[in-house]
Structure 1
Amino acid sequence: MIHYTCDRCKREIDATTEMRYTVQIQVQANSDSNRGDFDEDIDHLTELHQILEGIADDEFEFPLPETSHCSSYDLCPECHRQFLKNPLGRDSVLALGFSNN
């Protein structure tokens, strides 16, 4: 039998009597610095053709940025409710946005 543990509170989850929730998080690098820099001198069809030829010859590999990361976490029902209330784990005081009077 497979045993599950909540990755947040470390409590054992009995999958036969209670719901187990899985949270999957995927982080990718995103650079918006090239927006609006469209270079008309680049032949995009030729570049695409070269990439596709490389795939056919098994020479082309898709490099993943070092900042890519995928994770999966198991949560018990209580931790799932808490996660949905505050998925980024921010302090609730900061979310109110009080001024420094």
Structure 2
Amino acid sequence: MIHYTCDRCKREIDTACEIRYTVQLEVQAAPDPQLGDFDEDIDHLTELHQILEGIAEEDEMDLSNAETSLQGRYDLCPECHRQFLKNPLGRDAFHAIGFSNN
């Protein structure tokens, strides 16, 4: 028998009596397509054009790097699923940190 564990709270999920939810997450870099575009009708200095073209090619190669993307599949118990739907980006946890007014 396959055993599932909630990836959020680490509790074992009993699929015989409760629903197991899966979250599939894919994060990719989304470059601005306008950053690499040049208007060919404008007369640029050849050297400047080559430098800018080289920078644009380097940026495209960097964005295609595996470090800029993530794919994951996570199992959630019903309670963690409800919490995830309420706050999928975890914003509340970030704002809940309080600092004193020193």
Q: 1:93 to 1:7 in 2, by over 3 A?
A: closer
Are residues 19 and 93 of structure 1, via their aligned partners in 2, closer, same or farther at CA, if it must alter by over 3 Å? same
Specify the alignment match of 1:35 in structure 2: 34
Identity, % of aligned positions: 70
**Residue correspondences, number:** 72
Say which SS state the counterpart of residue 23 (structure 1) adopts.
strand
Hey, which bits of structure 1, 4+ residues long, moved more than 2 A? 36-41
- TM-score w.r.t. the length of structure 2 is 0.61
3-state SS in 2 of match to 1:91: helix
1:21 aligns with 2:21: yes
Taking the TM superposition and a 5 Å limit, the aligned residue runs for 1:1-101 are: 1-32=1-32, 34-35=33-34, 37=37, 64-66=64-66, 67-91=68-92, 94=95
TM-score where L is the length of structure 1: 0.61
Unaligned runs of 5+ in 1: 42-63, 95-101
Aligned equivalents of 2:13 and 2:77: distance in 1?
6
* Cα distance between partner residues in 2 of 1:3 and 1:93: 32
> Offset of 1:16 from its aligned partner?
1.2
The answer for the alignment partner of 1:46 in structure 2 is: none
Question: Which AA in structure 1 matches 2:5?
Answer: T
Q: What RMSD, in angstroms, separates the aligned Cα atoms of the two structures? A: 2.4
